[in-house]
Amino acid sequence: MKNERNLQTIENFVPAWKNAPDQVRIDGIISTYKETHRLTDNWPYYFDIGGVFIQLSKENQEKPEKIYIKDLIKKDGYPEKSEADIFNQLENWISKTTEGNAVWVSPPYPGKYPCSKIIFHQIAYEFGTLDKVILNSAVLFDAGKKDTLELVHELFPQTTNINNLEKLRSVLILPEDDMDFSLILNKISQLDKNVNYEGEQIPEDILIEKAVFISNLISSEVNPRSVAYEMHKIGLLGSFSISCPAFLHASTAFSELIFGFGIKDRFGSLRFSCPKCGGINTRPFGRLISMCQHCGANVRC
């Protein structure tokens, strides 16, 4: 079933995606696939003395550029001001903590967020360098206010004094014990049967191939509406709403944060040239690919 709102949102996204680096565009397409199919979306942040940042790799640049998130987020209006405060809480917690988890619950908001979102943050360390990394996972779900509050109270007893769902937007939850992520996802899926955290989905290598295909369409200046329909046709655009409204531009800070753009991992850049054909390959964070996505040559080393 086509979702006209999603088609319109993608049509509005295309001009910004066109002007973005390839990896930014591909990550955005993949994140859109996960969001509109109610799949868990994962992305990393990094941390140093300057704060929480993402890394953007550029052609002919020896080191990736650090982009500090505090320089990107909006601080005016609502709920942006509340979310900026949550980020400050998160960054302060990360600076003082060596290990642990934090949770943020974002309820629906008219005109901006059509459903609830729960984001998990876990402190980890980069293999080899021991640089601090924050692993993030976002789950979108539909549920009534009462059910959502009861779920949060059950999972995080320290929130039982909060009886207004909107007040949760300003609270960074610090679980008292280690989180059982699969248990939490299971309970969320009981509220919203469409949450697909362990069901069938497009295999990662095929997903990347499809995202690269759409990215190439955008680079080739194919009509934005046609791009949106093609994403729907090949299964990258589902029926569930995108969490930012159609009138928002894809280059906003929200999009940059949630997609985790341009990240490098312990294996190096997520974007690299094939030594045989020269085609640009992209791979998922923390995983290698064995074959070139263009000519099939062995690129594993």
Task: Report the share of the chain in percent with pLDDT over 90.
Answer: 29
Which tens digit of pLDDT belongs to each residue from 279-297? 666 655 455 777 777 778 8
pLDDT at 248: 31
Which tens digit of pLDDT belongs to each residue from 67-115? 888 877 777 788 888 888 999 999 999 999 999 999 999 898 887 788 8
- A 10 A CB-CB count for 269 gives 17
pLDDT at 287: 59
Angle of helix 224-233 relative to helix 4-18, nearest 10 degrees, comes to 120
Find out whether 296 and 220 touch, Cβ atoms under 8 Å. no
**Which H helix or E strand runs over 205?**
helix 204-219
Core vs surface per residue 102-125: b (16+ CB within 10 A) or e: bbbbbbbeeebbbbbbbbbbbbee
Q: What is the DSSP letter of 115?
A: S
pLDDT at 124: 92
pLDDT at 281: 66
pLDDT at 83: 86
Q: List, run by run, the mean pLDDT of 10-residue segments along the chain (301 residues).
A: 78 80 80 86 88 75 78 79 90 94 90 84 88 89 90 92 91 84 85 72 87 92 93 91 45 36 49 70 62 77 52
For the chain, first and last CA: distance in Å? Answer: 42
Q: DSSP alpha helices (H): ranges in 97-160?
A: 145-155
pLDDT at 197: 59
CA–CA dist 59, 281 (Å, integer): 13
